Each structure stands twice: as C-alpha cells, then as structure tokens.
Amino acid sequence: MNKPLLLLFVALPAWNFGDSARAQSIDYGASELLFGEPVTASVTGKPQRAADAPANIEIITQDDIRRSGATSIPEILQFIPGIDVRQTSTGNADVGIRGYNQSSNPHLMVLVDGRQVYMVDYGRIIWSAIPVQLDEIRQIEVIKGPNSALYGFNAVSGVINIITYDPLKDHLNSATVRAGTGGYLSGSAVGTGQIGDTAGLRLSLGGFRANDYPQGNLSAGDHQAREAPFTGTFNADGRWQVTPNVEVFADSSVGDTRLPDQAPPGVFQTETLVGTSLRAGLRADTALGLFSLSGYRSDARVSIYDIGLAARGAVALGEYQTTYVFEASDLMKLGADHSIRFGVEYRRNADQSGSLILGSISNDIYSASLMWDWQMTPTLSLTNAVRVDHLLLHFTGALLPTSGLTNAAYNATTLTEPSFNSGLVWKMTDEDTLRLSLARGVQLPTLLEYALQIPAGFYNPLVSYAGRPDIAPSIVWNAEVDYDRGLPAIASVLRTALFVQRIDDINSWPFGAPLSFSLVHAPVFFSDNVGYSTAAGVELELKGHSESGFRWNASYALVSTTDHTPLDQGPVLTGTVDYAHSTPDHVLIGGVGYTRDKWELDLRARWQSSYLDFRLNPARRALQAVNIDNYITMNARIGYRVTDNLTVALSAQQFNQSQLVESAGPPVQRQIILSVSVHL
C-alpha cells in the first residue's frame, strides 16, 4: 500500500477535532417517520431522502416488493428504469445497470447489510444463492453509475444494496408458501426474538424448486446438461447492545443451490453451489464519531456439469472459492456543516480448481478511502470521496505450456488504482432538486481473467484458453446531471437523469478476446484489454400515489453505446464484447395499482427494443450471435388480506405470452403463482 496514504488514515483518529458532534447509527423506522418517506444512509452515512443523496438512487420498499408478486430479486429489478435483466432460469438472471450487461456480469456490486455478495471466479452474482428471504428485506437501494470510491472496487455500473430488518429494533415473524405452474413450489419463514432493548436475533430459511425451461433454441447437448433448479438457504442475524454506545453484531448463513446456468458465455450447463458465510463486528458511538469494525469470511464449493465434458470423458468442472474481508471506518461530524468518513479495508479473494486453473489463484487487496460531506449552505451540499486499491497477485500450480507464462510473472504482479466520486446537490426549492456528479470507477480483473487455463481440444481442437497476469483494470468515467421535481398537484415526482460514460481498457475474458499467439508461438485465446466504449443516456420517470388508493409509475430509458475495439469487425464473430449491439437502446416501463379495504391490485409492463446475445454453436468451436427481438412482458398481482395476519395472493408473471425469448438461452415461461403469507 502507498505508505503516505496509509499513515494519513492511521493518524486521522488521533487528531483533535474540537467540538465534534457524535455520530448516531441509523434507525430506518424512526427515520422514515421523520422524513415521511424511505431514506438512505449508504452514501454519506447520514439518513437522507434519495433526492438529497449525492448519487442517483432509487429505493424499492417492502410494500413494493410485496405488490410486485415477484419470487426473486431480479424479477423486482426488471421494472426499474435503467436496469437490464436477462433471465436464464427460474430464480437466476444476468443484471446490468445502464447497459454493459453480459453473461456472468462482473460490473455490478451487490451488498446485503454491508456485506458484498459475489463469486470471485467471474465476479458474477448468483441471485438465488443470496441467503435472504423477500419478506425480511426492508428495502432495496439501486445506485446507478460508477461508485467505486463510495462502495468498492467493482461498483462500476452500479450497486444493489439490500437492507434487511434490524433484529434489535424490528419485530418480524412471517411465513410464506407459494405454488405455481412449471412445477414451482417455494416456502420461507422468518422469526425474530428480542430481549428487551438489549439483544435481538432474526432467523430465516427458505428455498424453492421448479422445472427447467423448455429446450427452445438450445442444442440437444445444452438442454441435456441442464437440470431442474432448486435452492435452500438459512441465515441468522444478531445484534447486542453491550452499552448505550456500543453495539456488537454477527450473522452467518449456509446455502445449497442447483441452477441451470450460463458460464462461460454461450455455454449452457448445470451448476451446483454450496456456500457459507460468517461475519462479526461492532459499532461504537465515540467522541470521535461512529466507529465500525467488522470481518467476514465467505466460501463456495462449485461444481459445473456439462454434457459436452461428459462426452469427452472429462470430469465435471469444480472450484473452491474463499473471500476474507476486514474493514474499519469512522464517521465523524465536524461542527454543523462537515462530515468525514474514512476507512481501511483488507480483502483476500482465492479460487482453487484442478480443472479451470490447474492450481490456485488469489489476490490481496489493500484499500483506503476518505469521504467529505460539506453542507455549504442550507440548500447546497458537496460530497467528495476518494479510494485507493492496491492489489498483489499470487499463483501456485502448473501453467499450460502453450501459454508461455511463468509462475514468477504472476507472483510479481501488483497494481494500484485510485477512484473518486463527487456530487453536488442543490435544493432549488421545496419541490426542485438538481444533482451534478462526476466519477472514476475501477473494475479490477476477476480471478479467472487472470488465471483461467483450458487446453486445446477441450472447447477448441487447436486453440487453448488462458488468463494473463498483466491484464489491466477497466476504468469507467461518468458525468451526470439529475433533476427531481415534485408535482404536488398530481401527487407525483418526476425524476430525470442525463449521463455520459466511457470505459477504458475493457476487460475481455478468453472466450471474448481476439486470437493471439503466445511467446512459444502457440495459438491462444488470452484474457485481454480490448479498447474502449462510450455511452450516453437519459432516464425519465414519473411516480406517484393518491390518498384514494391509486398508485402509478411510467418511465423511459435510452442508452446509446459505441464500441472502439478490434472485435467483430470482420465476418467472423470473435467475442461477446459487443456492447453497442448487445444492449437494448430503448426501454419503456409502466405500472398502475389500487388498494381498497382488504384488496390490492397491481399491473406492470415493460417493453424493450431488440439486441444481440451470444452462444456457442453445437460443435462448441465458435460463438454465434442471436438476435433478441423487441418484446413486452406484463405482470399482475391481486392480493386479499383475509385477516390482519393472513394474506392470499394470485400473481401472473409474463401473463401476456406463454413463453418469451429474453436471451440466447431457453425461453422464459409464463408463471401463475398462488401465495399464502402469515405475518405476526
């Protein structure tokens, strides 16, 4: 790590800040009552409306989740403007923000109560494996655009921040059972126990099973490799108020998941995952601010079964992934107008595989960050944040002779990258807010981009696939202007966003990179940096509700992308990095709802323009583009509150079409689901 920067962060707590006010941890329930609407604290550490935060944030409440009739988080996200969701099986999808979506998308950060959830191999998210039940989610925050300095190194397209109910402050006891077409059956239960105002524990468990989607355009081999999905997870979350100013927290989870999946891109198979996590920490309200210290460990045992591998007599691909994270931060208030948050973090990601890596690859990442929030005037605020990530790479094992690489080259690899976020918020009137933001985000290479090793004859008879230690991180630049306007005459809020973005040094894993020759003159598909891409877009959203029980929303999102890469310039398709054509340019979303007495009725629709997706041909030797036509999907839910504690609901997902092609994978099926929920 850069020593002067480290010394600065170590020394800061010892400085004399004079009459600094003591920071307070957030009580979301009390803050919502105070503000009269959901609030966020994830950007600056203080409770504030989404419109007042120095980032583009949309908050999905528990009421929104319930009324959606959704059975998974991606199903909820697909009706948010600027979000691209491509379902590949029941409960699983690739999710992108403002374009740049792809199979095993590594550009998105997902947090659950501050803990990052992702797979270290491709940097992807397996949504069904997240050990959270929908009933225990208080809100989901969607933060759009690169926010590496505020949230972490891979928050380059945005952040999905999942916040659950507090086991110490919130009383939640519920059970939900769902059954539907396609063999769908799921159940979940959440229970909370508390000892006065001193300690609280929330336990949750749940899971589902379903039939896989039909074959559609998949090859017979791909379809045969896919098995019916299921998942089961258990989570425990505890809080202990040791003293009025010190809180200790801990959580742990375990999950077992089997999903028809797509990884690497264009290869359809079945993946099983058994994962565990354990975290502990404390928060202390001190004279120098709100101090937080935590550490967690996550691991995952992954097995991938592909019929093509079995036909060649190969064993199923397997991985063992681990992540260790230790972080400390301090949020302090200096006078009435200034808040400072500084932090340090150590992270170790590791992936061990005898079939994908021929050994073990890991990195140590040391990070330091600083945020300054300045209330310049009662109506004008400025927030600046900087972060530096320093990475050390480690490799043990054998390397493909055809790659020409050495262990020494891996173990000598280091990189240091800064990121920043700056946001200016002007509260022009009680109804008008203008926000200007500028950001530099950093996407560090994933572990398999560094060290994937697949010999010739495995997927291609003549060419091998390999990662490389000298691949550079992608850098994302973003400038944005947002304007929020309250329209009390129609009880609505109009939100607008205009942004421009550029990605330098696009990372492409071997399956999407151009063919090259190694130092030993062998043909190899290497991980590579393949140029840059620019994007510009606009988002418009009108959302409101009336006292009579009606609610409505309508939005339009446009993103125009231009690539500057050596890929796909000729008649042969060489990679999946084709963001200009693989992103729908136009998306329209609308919804209406009505609540009367014990009834809830909701209808939502999404239309998007056409785009390209990719899959390997049946011979597994070349990628082929698949055109996904423009389509509309419509969801509906009707709920009836039988008693104060019992609710029955019938929902229809994609009721307008029996099946819908959303990706190069199998078509998504219509689902009719009956649910029964008990809340005590």
Q: What are the per-10-residue average pLDDT scores of the chain (680 residues)?
A: 35 32 56 79 86 92 95 94 88 86 82 91 89 95 94 88 94 96 95 95 96 80 81 96 95 93 72 94 93 95 71 66 96 93 96 90 96 96 97 94 91 95 96 96 92 82 87 95 95 96 89 79 87 94 94 96 74 60 92 96 96 72 79 97 96 94 87 96
How many angstroms separate the Cα of 70 from the Cα of each of 386, 508, 653, 674?
A: 37, 33, 8, 11
For the domain spanning 3-679, the CATH number is 2.40.170.20
Pick from 619, 536, 611, 525: which is nearest to 575 by CA?
525
Q: Distance between CA 627 and CA 557 in Å, rounded?
A: 21
Quick one: DSSP state of residue 40?
B
Q: Distance between CA 137 and CA 77 in Å, rounded?
A: 14
* Residue spans of beta strands (DSSP E) within 488-585: 492-504, 507-508, 515-517, 523-526, 528-529, 532-545, 550-564
Q: What is the structure's pLDDT at 487?
A: 95
Decide: 374 and 333 in contact? Cβ < 8 Å. no
- Please name the residues in contact with 334: beta carbons below 8 A apart, sequence gap of 6 or more: 17, 18, 20, 340
Q: Distance between CA 133 and CA 234 in Å, rounded?
A: 9
Parallel, antiparallel or unpaired: strands 515-517 and 474-487: unpaired
Q: What is the structure's pLDDT at 671?
A: 94
The per-residue pLDDT for range 176-226, each reduced to its tens digit, is 999 999 999 999 999 999 999 999 999 999 999 999 888 777 777 777 778
Question: Please, is 16 exposed, middle or buried when counting C-beta atoms within 10 Å of its C-beta (0-12, 13-18, 19+)?
Answer: exposed
Q: Taking the alpha carbons of 443, 96, 446, 266 in that order, is the dihedral positive or negative? A: negative
Q: Distance between CA 488 and CA 429 in Å, rounded?
A: 13
Decide: 331 and 343 in contact? Cβ < 8 Å. no
Structure-token pair, residue 340: 């400072």
Structure-token pair, residue 496: 């607008």
344: three-class secondary structure by DSSP? strand
Q: Over the Cα atoms of the chain, what is R_g?
A: 24
Q: Distance between CA 463 and CA 659 in Å, rounded?
A: 37
Phi/psi for 321 (5° steps) reads -110, 140
73: three-class secondary structure by DSSP? helix
Please tell me the pTM assigned to this model.
0.92
Q: Distance between CA 239 and CA 218 in Å, rounded?
A: 48
Alpha helices in 186-242 (DSSP H): 220-225
Q: What is the structure's pLDDT at 502?
A: 95
Q: Distance between CA 252 and CA 248 in Å, rounded?
A: 14
The per-residue pLDDT for range 495-518, each reduced to its tens digit, is 999 999 999 998 887 777 777 888
Q: Taking the alpha carbons of 351, 271, 110, 137 in that order, is the dihedral positive or negative? A: negative
Pick from 122, 385, 378: which is nearest to 262 by CA?
122
Decide: 621 and 573 in contact? Cβ < 8 Å. no
Q: What is the structure's pLDDT at 32?
A: 77
